[in-house]
Amino acid sequence: MNNTKPFEIDRDLISPNRNIVPITSVVDKDRGLLVGGCALLDLGKHYGTPLYVLDEETIRVGCRSYLRALKKYYPGKSLPLYASKANSSLVISSIVASEGMGLDVVSEGELITALKGGVPGERIFLHGNNKSDEELLLAYQSGATVVIDNHHDVERLKEVIPHDKDPLNLMLRFTPGIECHTHEYIKTGHLDSKFGFDPDQVKEVLYELKQIHWTKLTGIHAHIGSQIFELQPHQDLVEVMIDLFQLARKIGHPVKDLNVGGGLGIRYTGSDDPPTIDSWIEGIANTLKNTCKARNIELPRLMCEPGRSLVATAGITLYKLGSRKEIPGSTVYLSVDGGMSDNPRPITYESLYTACLANQPLAKADEMVTIAGKHCESGDVLLKDLGLPNSQSGDILVVFGTGAYNNSMSSNYNRIPRPAAVLVNSGQAELVQKRELPQDLLRNDVLPVRFLEVG
């Protein structure tokens, strides 16, 4: 888990997921590590820690990489969607919308965030295996497409959606039976999954939807996992999806969209070797082109849902080092002022990260340490066996690759407030998420009146 050459930025590929650090990272001999033209030491002092830092340029380059690759390799229409569960915010929604991408959501909160962030309703897709009536109605009213996941979705739509107005655009999600070599908790394409219709249910639901005049089935969707380093599974997925696409057309549905989901991995550590965005799109696009040509069918609009590969590398987290505990002959623990409440991935998925000191990013390691969080859990450990130069309490630790599933999965465990977040670009830092204060955590607490009564 050492910080193995994290600053070797592959600028030629312009595929941010292949880098450990944001693409604007620069080491200055006097100011330490800079991202987006901003010295991380200065950010930590001004905004406090823990602090989420997002590099705008890395996000935009990621968006453009997907758009460019689709245009380069696929002759038909295409639309990449940002999987906002990775990190849902007004500023990220605004960035991806301005780059011409769409966005997928899985809740009313994410849907409202997307709309307020400027994403047009027609470029928003609502997912979820247990959508509420409020979510379904808001999706319809905003012009979003609903991705139906099960029969419950269909039954609730019958009760919620007006039957005498414009039809509701639907996409059907199914489980394709394709597994990937990834963590069990982030496999979503195998048959034993809570997501999507099983293959033996699809034909029945397609006929059922054909009888509902106020629905319009516009596409087919599948998703096979996350943090994937293999190219072949998505190419296999395309061939499976085309079978269902043709069946829907045969039944009479005006399907035009084929959404292969997301899942492209990123480089968290030096040993990770994910494909480039370019090669990932090339394989999918070529398979779809060749399959459609062989079957003599019109090219569908190709859609995909990158999340982690767009925002993870753009994000870093700053912590302040605190206490030190040395166990003779064993472990050196350095504690930080955050932990599992701002990054639950290590304790949940045993996820690995790369880190360095903000003031000595290239210094030779003098010791191997374990970075511990401050929460009352022995498993609250962010990094193990990290090589660092000699450090002291108050130093700023930089953890890379935290732009996805850190802020979005954060909590108030131990009543610890969530961090602030800043967006950096061209030497400017802008606050995009206020830091919670301890008193903010009481805003939804209600003390019964009888507890306040005296005597």
- In tens digits, the chain (455 residues) has pLDDT values of 334 467 777 666 679 999 999 999 999 999 999 999 999 999 999 999 999 999 999 999 999 999 999 999 999 999 999 999 999 999 999 999 999 999 999 999 999 999 999 999 999 999 999 999 999 999 999 999 999 999 999 999 999 999 888 999 999 999 887 766 555 444 455 566 788 898 889 999 999 999 999 999 999 999 998 999 999 999 999 999 999 999 999 999 999 999 999 999 999 999 999 999 999 999 999 999 999 999 999 999 999 999 999 999 999 999 999 999 999 999 999 999 999 999 999 999 999 999 999 999 999 999 999 999 999 999 999 999 999 999 999 999 999 999 999 999 999 999 999 999 999 999 999 999 999 999 999 999 999 998 887 65
Q: Render the burial of 183-208: b for 16+ CB within 10 Å, e for the rest.
A: eeeebbbbeebebbbeeeebeebbee
CA distance 261 to 180: 13
pTM comes to 0.94
**Residue appearing with tokens 């301890």:** 438
CA distance 58 to 63: 9
What is the total residue count of the chain? 455
Strand residue runs (E) in 256-305:
257-259, 301-304
Determine which one of 38, 180, 304, 376 is catalytic.
376
Q: Which fold has domain 57-311?
A: TIM Barrel (3.20.20)
180 is catalytic: no
Strand residue runs (E) in 347-413:
355-357, 367-372, 381-388, 396-400
For residue 149, CA distances in Å to 73, 171, 172, 221, 233 come to: 30, 9, 7, 10, 21
Q: Which fold has domain 16-55+314-442?
A: Lyase, Ornithine Decarboxylase; Chain A, domain 1 (2.40.37)
Domain boundaries, the chain: 16-55+314-442, 57-311
